[in-house]
């Protein structure tokens, strides 16, 4: 296993277009997280899944953002009608474990997908 993979690494799009990012987590990890990171800021939590269940989505930035993990393996993050303010690095991470007190709740991050909206 080569870690968390994200595709594409860089996407340039025009304002108003839809974009989709894909994340392939470490195969044995049941949790998958999406974050957004802008320059000079920490990762901003968006949503996360445990297997195929989306456990938290209230932090998604607007109703233009949606995420899926249909079979509990890879996940997609879609942004509809992109705006220039959506330009950022979108990070995916995965972990194993369930409860809060879990020695396995360590996130492994992918390299990210950079979005540029013109």
Partner 1 sequence: AQSVSQHNHHVILSEAASLELGCNYSYGGTVNLFWYVQYPGQHLQLLLKYFSGDPLVKGIKGFEAEFIKSKFSFNLRKPSVQWSDTAEYFCAVNAGDMRFGAGTRLTVKP
> What residues make contact with partner 1 under the rule CB under 8 A?
33, 35, 40-45, 48, 55-56, 91, 93, 100-103, 105-112
Q: What is the DSSP string of 36-102?
A: EE-TTS--EEEEEEETTEEEE-TTSSSTTEEEE-TTSS-EEEEE-S--GGG-EEEEEEEE---SSS-
Return d(Cα 108, Cα 86) in angstroms, integer.
Answer: 24
Q: How far is the CB of 100 from partner 1 (least distance, A)?
A: 5
Residue with smaller CB distance to partner 1, 3 or 85: 3
Residue with smaller CB distance to partner 1, 12 or 106: 106
Q: How far is the CB of 79 from partner 1 (least distance, A)?
A: 20
DSSP 9: S
Residue with smaller CB distance to partner 1, 48 or 65: 48
Q: How far is the CB of 97 from partner 1 (least distance, A)?
A: 10
């Amino acid at each position: 296993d080569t870690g968390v993979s994200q595709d594409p690494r860089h996407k340039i799009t025009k304002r108003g277009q839809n974009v989709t990012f894909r994340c392939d987590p470490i195969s044995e990890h049941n949790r998958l997280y999406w974050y957004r990171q802008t320059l000079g800021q920490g990762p901003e939590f968006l949503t996360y899944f445990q297997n195929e269940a989306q456990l938290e989505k209230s932090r998604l930035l607007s109703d233009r953002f949606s995420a899926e993990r249909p079979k509990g393996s890879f996940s997609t993050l879609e942004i509809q009608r992109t705006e220039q303010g959506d330009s950022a690095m979108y990070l995916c991470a995965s972990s194993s474990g369930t409860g809060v007190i879990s020695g396995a709740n360590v996130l492994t991050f992918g390299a990210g997908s950079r979005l540029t909206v013109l």
